[in-house]
Structure 1
Amino acid sequence: MDSANSLLLTDLYQLNMIQAYLDHGATRTAVFEFFVRKLPERRGFLLAAGLEQALEFLENLRFSEEEIEWLHRSGRFSADTLSHLAAMRFTGDVHAVPEGTPFFPHEPILRVAAPLDQAQLVETRLINILHFQTLIASKAARMVLS
């Protein structure tokens, strides 16, 4: 498994919800946005970063055979769910501000609209990617400006 890009870098809850959606025929589109509620102390802005890595993650979204086998061995997922996950590719829409754009509380830097199961699966990983990259870029900008 390529652990850096593994789709298993998510909460078990996300995978359980995908199985529940499939069991109940829930296929509508879901939309979520990445934003911050407040700025860290003594910070006037943050810089949007990680967008390229986030898009690369979405473009290459797929479970490896090894990951599907691991999920199968866990005994938590039905054969239908495993087949669905094995065939899953990201088909949603993404809107984002350009990399390096300053942003403020409650201003989305990334918006995803995708089938419910896909949105559920990618949410945790996108938060991780954007949070860390934004943290580093914002700290670097703060150091340059001081």
Structure 2
Amino acid sequence: MKARQNLWHELGIAVIACSVLVASVSLLWRHNLLLFSITLVEGTILLRLWHDRYDPSFLLMIGGMGSIAEAVFVRSGAWHYANPALLGVPLWFPAALGTAGLIGGRLARALARLWEQISPSHRRPDAAAPSNPLRLGVEPEGKTGGN
């Protein structure tokens, strides 16, 4: 029961963080430096709250790779920003995209864990089987203890 409450708490934090990010970008997109600072602070706060080994990777990889892709799209003429800073992309974009990636990664993992708790019958049949039966003291088929 406690684990499920923790998952709901984590989902709540993710929804609030996403709402703050969306509101910040929607209201402050004209102010590059201010929005960059806010998204950077939000990403830092979330990394302090969520600090497993994957979280910094989500933030950095999605922020970096997404910004490179965005710069290519903008340079190719697909669209443009009203206040570009570098390579046609606003200063705040990498921090906002990285923070969105962090939130999305956490949200996906929490939803997957919650789904497993709520509906264990939907798991793959082999998901519960150990990958190495010897680790759990189970003899593989065809092997006996005396031979």
Give the TM interval when normalised to the shorter protein.
0.3 to 0.5
Structure (1 or 2) with the larger CA radius of gyration: 2
Structure with greater proportional strand content: 1
Q: TM-score, normalised by structure 1?
A: 0.38
Q: Which has the higher helix share?
A: 2
